[in-house]
Chains A and B, each alone.
Chain A
Amino acid sequence: MQQTLEKLTLDFQEFQRLHLEAHKETAPKRLAIVASKGSLDMVYPPLILATTAASMGWEVSIFFTFYGMDALHRKRYKGLKVAPLGNPASPAPFQGIPFQVPNIIGAIPGMTAIATIFMKRWMKKANVPPVEQFIDMAHGMGVKMIACSTTMGVMNIKKEDLLPIADIEGAASFLHFASKATVTLFV
């Protein structure tokens, strides 16, 4: 009886060991992001998450679609803007002003340029790298940056208009990657 119990215990321990081994995470984690917005403030989150995940050893793909593709556009990616209009969270441009700028002011021509200058200034002050540096960094860390082929057709964007690091793909190949992703985000 005693011997049988001991044998059972040993068998169970062996079973546990094999079970843990079989279920050990071997494949790297994967992050799949759809980046659909092309304003300065909305391009940062996908790039920050992508580079962070890459630094954690994850496989990362960003699928840039619709206006999001401006982040891969050779002529536009350094000139992304942020619009104060319709953005109630838009803060006062100077510290010390106790009120926010009325939203209607955002409709005045030139306000988008001004808001963009301020945002870039805050980013610089906080040592946050500009978009172009983030794109370089992400590329260097192995983040795959995909340009949506449909968007290219709709917006008449040619391969030569994009940064050479961009891979041109459709939704099917992104979904195939995303179907095996640990985390999938739409930004």
Chain B
Amino acid sequence: MTQQIQATKVDRELDTRGLLCPMPVIQAFEAMKGLVSGQTLRVVATDPGSKADFPAWAESLGHRLLRHEEDHGVYTYWIQKG
């Protein structure tokens, strides 16, 4: 599992800790603009709503949510640009 985490190459990081909906997805939208198809954005969030929001957001834009993690109220998402 740990190896898999390290294996996921990250091309851009986005820290949205402390921000509430809709700021995490809006910032992710902006961050994605700088990436090309196939590159991966890692987003860190503390908004509990983001757990449902990021899968929906990624699907609607054709991005792939590669994986997500939850650790004591901190959510991490690996999203590959579609």
Q: B19, B28, B29: which has the most chain A beta carbons within 10 Å? A: B29
Instruction: Using A127-B23, A128-B23 as known contacts, list a sample of 18 further A-B pairs with CB atoms less than 8 Å apart, ordered by residue number in A.
Output: A48-B22, A51-B22, A52-B21, A52-B22, A52-B25, A55-B22, A55-B25, A55-B28, A55-B57, A56-B25, A56-B61, A57-B60, A57-B61, A58-B60, A126-B20, A127-B18, A127-B20, A129-B23
Q: B54-72: which have CB < 8 Å to A?
A: 56-57, 60-61
Contacts of A127 in B (CB 8 A): 18-20, 23
A56 near B23 with CB under 8 A, answer no
Task: Give the interface of A toward B (CB within 8 A).
Answer: 29, 48, 51-52, 54-58, 126-129, 137, 141
What is the bound-complex CA distance between A22 and B23, given in angstroms? 36
- CB of B46, distance to nearest CB on chain A (Å): 10
- 28 cross-chain CB contacts under 8 A: A29-B60, A48-B21, A51-B22, A51-B26, A52-B21, A52-B22, A52-B25, A54-B29, A55-B22, A55-B25, A55-B26, A55-B28, A55-B29, A55-B57, A56-B25, A56-B29, A56-B56, A56-B57, A56-B60, A56-B61, A57-B61, A126-B20, A127-B19, A128-B20, A128-B23, A137-B26, A141-B26, A141-B29
Task: Give the interface of B toward A (CB within 8 A).
Answer: 18-23, 25-26, 28-29, 56-57, 60-61
What is the bound-complex CA distance between A51 and B57, given in angstroms? 12
- CB of B20, distance to nearest CB on chain A (Å): 6
Q: B18, B22, B56, B57: which has the most chain A beta carbons within 10 Å? A: B22
Contacts of A129 in B (CB 8 A): 23
What is the bound-complex CA distance between A10 and B61, given in angstroms? 32
What is the bound-complex CA distance between A58 and B23, given in angstroms? 16
What is the bound-complex CA distance between A141 and B22, given in angstroms? 13
What is the bound-complex CA distance between A58 and B60, given in angstroms? 9
- CB of B82, distance to nearest CB on chain A (Å): 11
What is the bound-complex CA distance between A88 and B19, given in angstroms? 28
Contacts of A137 in B (CB 8 A): 26
Contacts of A141 in B (CB 8 A): 26, 29
